[in-house]
A and B are shown apart, each in its own frame.
Chain A
């Protein structure tokens, strides 16, 4: 791996990391989109979509409520998507390794977001007098500084995570001993369990939601087994 491979991934991670909170929150940072875009960059969009869908199942649990601390999926999904798409034949363990890489990055990404928010507070304190005096420059520069820092945060995180985790993933895939289909089944079962738990937490209080869920499940299972 060389710098020319890492830089486009890092730039994409930076842009999608920015979308999580700072700008424009259009959800291009959701795993379904971010991992697919990383797949496009690596040359295998379908692989990106596949791992993006699995990560999206997990991400359903972590929605960006207010001031809560949550994992950062934008940059992490780029790392996971790029790692999986760089093994386009989908060898045994590729999906599991890509998911572990994405989850590790999302964990660290959440921590970097907290640090960024603390830095924003420090920069705001440094400008308190100017802000209290109604300075246009202070308001605008604080906003631009926060967004620039977020962009850099996402890009550095993605670049470092990809550079470190992609070779580790390749090494693990080369030594993988478990059947490919079994490995993938276990990975998706874990992701879907998180999605099932998350959906229950979100909708169980909604009147009639259980029956709507059962209705949907019947349709889904019927479709799955008849096609």
Chain B
């Protein structure tokens, strides 16, 4: 903390409950104005606005306005892990850190928060929860247990990550980087990847069995077709995405089935 702002230290030891709740709810809407120019920038400013109201100079002061303008500039991160940045920036602004330091910190944080979040959540936790839910569906579970498992499991991770990020960012301020070496963030993607691989193996045949229904007349042929189809999609190496390919094949099936 800079010496110039030491008198405000008492205000920054913890955020009032109302402010914390307000910031957390706004974090859920951090991508509300997402665009190709400032990305999450406006969202970060939107999340920090309740914290900046705590500045002793008030909301009509130059300090408030320059802080809000600074925090609404370009920012990129995984939306859940952006909570780390919001917590840390809240701390930095209330502590009165130098604007240049805050801007350098924002720039430095973008890359790690994006890549770690993508690997942990989009490429790990989400597919794992989705596949595990499909396995439960394949085992014959009714509607609500499948939905309850997916939503509870996924959002335990989702909300947990946002809460952890906000707390960690607030606790460490501009010195939050070492906290990103947390074992969950470093090793989590590998471990979740293994779990998701198991879930894939269990879920695909069971889900196929449930959708086709009782009897085994088509099951063997479908499983072989799936193995071949997956191989073809992997070999296509992204030249056409699987969902587009499936749209064209299914549309052709509709035409053949209706016209022929």
Chain A residues with CB under 8 Å of chain B are 21-28, 30, 32-33, 36, 39, 45-46, 48-50, 53-54, 56-67, 71, 92-93, 95-97, 99-100, 103-104, 106-107, 117-118, 120-121, 123-125, 131-136, 139-140, 142-147, 150, 172, 175-178, 181-203, 206-210, 212-221, 223-225
B234-A22 in contact (CB<8A):
no
Asked if A223 meets B139 with Cβ closer than 8 Å, knowing A30-B130, A202-B193, the reply is: yes
Choice from B33, B147, B201, B253 contacting A212 with Cβ under 8 Å: B201
Asked if A134 meets B64 with Cβ closer than 8 Å, knowing A60-B131, A199-B127, A216-B202, the reply is: yes
A217-B225 in contact (CB<8A):
no
Chain B residues with Cβ below 8 Å from A139 are 42, 45-46, 49, 68, 72
Interface centre among B28, B200, B223 (most CB of A within 10 A): B200
Chain B residues with CB under 8 Å of chain A are 28-29, 31-39, 42-43, 45-46, 49, 59, 64-69, 72, 76, 78-80, 114, 118, 122-123, 126-127, 129-131, 133-135, 137-139, 142-143, 146-147, 150-151, 154-155, 158, 189-190, 193-213, 215-219, 221-223, 225-230, 232-234, 241-247, 249-251, 253-254, 256-258, 260
Q: How far is the CB of B216 from chain A (nearest CB, A)?
A: 8
Asked if A203 meets B193 with Cβ closer than 8 Å, knowing A93-B257, A143-B46, the reply is: yes
B33-A181 in contact (CB<8A):
no
28 contacts between A and B (CB under 8 A): A21-B34, A27-B155, A33-B147, A33-B151, A45-B143, A53-B211, A56-B134, A67-B76, A93-B254, A123-B33, A124-B33, A134-B64, A142-B33, A143-B46, A144-B32, A146-B32, A146-B34, A147-B32, A178-B256, A192-B207, A192-B229, A193-B226, A193-B230, A194-B233, A203-B196, A220-B135, A220-B201, A221-B223
Interface of A is mostly: helix
Chain A residues with Cβ below 8 Å from B200 are 195-196, 199, 203, 213, 216
Asked if A53 meets B76 with Cβ closer than 8 Å, knowing A58-B242, A199-B200, A216-B197, the reply is: no
Known contacts A46-B142, A56-B133, A172-B258; can you find 11 more A-B pairs with CB under 8 A?
A22-B32, A25-B79, A57-B207, A67-B39, A93-B257, A136-B59, A139-B49, A193-B229, A193-B246, A203-B196, A224-B205
The 6 A-B residue pairs with the shortest CB-CB distance, nearest first, are A216-B201, A193-B229, A134-B65, A196-B230, A197-B233, A206-B193
Choice from B142, B190, B205, B227 contacting A206 with Cβ under 8 Å: B190
Task: Count contacts between A and B, CB distance < 8 Å.
Answer: 347
Interface centre among B138, B193, B211, B217 (most CB of A within 10 A): B211
A181-B257 in contact (CB<8A):
no
Chain B residues with Cβ below 8 Å from A217 are 201-202, 204-205
Choice from B67, B158, B190, B196 contacting A199 with Cβ under 8 Å: B196
Chain A residues with Cβ below 8 Å from B133 are 32, 56
B241-A185 in contact (CB<8A):
no
Taken together as a complex, chains A and B put the C-alpha atoms of A61 and B29 apart, in Å, by 25
A22-B29 in contact (CB<8A):
yes
Chain A residues with Cβ below 8 Å from B201 are 212-220
A221-B150 in contact (CB<8A):
no
B204-A192 in contact (CB<8A):
yes
A96-B257 in contact (CB<8A):
yes
Q: How far is the CB of A142 from chain B (nearest CB, A)?
A: 5
B247-A176 in contact (CB<8A):
no
Q: How far is the CB of B93 from chain A (nearest CB, A)?
A: 12
Chain B residues with Cβ below 8 Å from A145 are 33
A36-B147 in contact (CB<8A):
yes
Taken together as a complex, chains A and B put the C-alpha atoms of A215 and B225 apart, in Å, by 20
Of chain A, the residue at the smallest CB distance from B204 is A192
Taken together as a complex, chains A and B put the C-alpha atoms of A175 and B254 apart, in Å, by 10
Q: How far is the CB of A73 from chain B (nearest CB, A)?
A: 9
Taken together as a complex, chains A and B put the C-alpha atoms of A62 and B243 apart, in Å, by 8
Choice from A32, A66, A121 contacting B130 with Cβ under 8 Å: A32
Taken together as a complex, chains A and B put the C-alpha atoms of A79 and B33 apart, in Å, by 25
Taken together as a complex, chains A and B put the C-alpha atoms of A201 and B188 apart, in Å, by 18
Chain B residues with Cβ below 8 Å from A99 are 246, 250
Taken together as a complex, chains A and B put the C-alpha atoms of A62 and B257 apart, in Å, by 28
Chain B residues with Cβ below 8 Å from A103 are 243, 246-247, 250
